[in-house]
Amino acid sequence: MLSLKKLLGKEDKFFDLLEASAEEARASSAALAKILQTEGSAQSANIHDVVQTRRKDKRITQEITEELCKTFVTPFEREDIEALSIALYRIPKTVEKIVERLNICPARIPRENLLRQVALLEQAVDAVVAMVGQLRKGTQLDKIKHSNDRLQFAESEADKLMLAHVKDLYNGPYDAKEVVILMELYDLCETAVDRCRDAGQVVFQIVLKYS
């Protein structure tokens, strides 16, 4: 018969893995900010960091799935843990797509515009990290709500910023090819923030279910 200590240890492992996944999302957004602030060899190193972060997060996601298949006792329903794991993984995956586009884009990229979007992404990721970390401490709705409010604010500001960027594209000195390229970059940055929102919604739904 399994001991209570062993069962509780398994529950802790899920929290450890989910928190590690959230931290990888934060690391990827921080690396993206550094890419936009640097050039040359330093930029190449940061690009490598984004790729490695996404790969590491994929391994964490796979480990969570494996643990779900062989663990009898879980802190929350398996479907909720799997949903949160996938939602967290999509953040660094989207960041990697941004970096891929930056690599093939022409040199004339309005970095300041992208940095403003990435700053909001970092705010959103920080809120998600806080929400995921709170799960281990119990499903206290008031504490989760505070972080969720921060996340919703970042997403709202990201939407406004995206609209401003689109207006700039339509009225700025860009040719048709540049408009297409920059629109995709801006859209991917906004999508990354939306991925944070999705992860936050999963956490919030878990808390509502168990509070």
Range of the domain at 29: 4-210
Number of domains composing the chain: 1
pLDDT by residue, tens only, the chain of 211 residues = 333 334 344 568 999 999 999 999 999 999 999 998 887 555 666 788 899 999 999 999 999 999 999 888 888 899 999 999 999 999 999 999 999 988 887 667 888 999 999 999 999 999 999 999 999 887 678 889 999 999 999 999 999 999 999 999 888 888 888 888 899 999 999 999 999 999 999 999 999 888 7
105: CATH: 1.20.58.220
3-class SS letters over 124-145: HHHHHHHHHHHHHHCCCHHHHH
**Which tokens belong to 49?**
């960091």
Report yes or no: 147 and 127 within 8 Å, Cβ to Cβ.
yes
Query: What's the predicted TM-score (pTM) here?
Result: 0.90
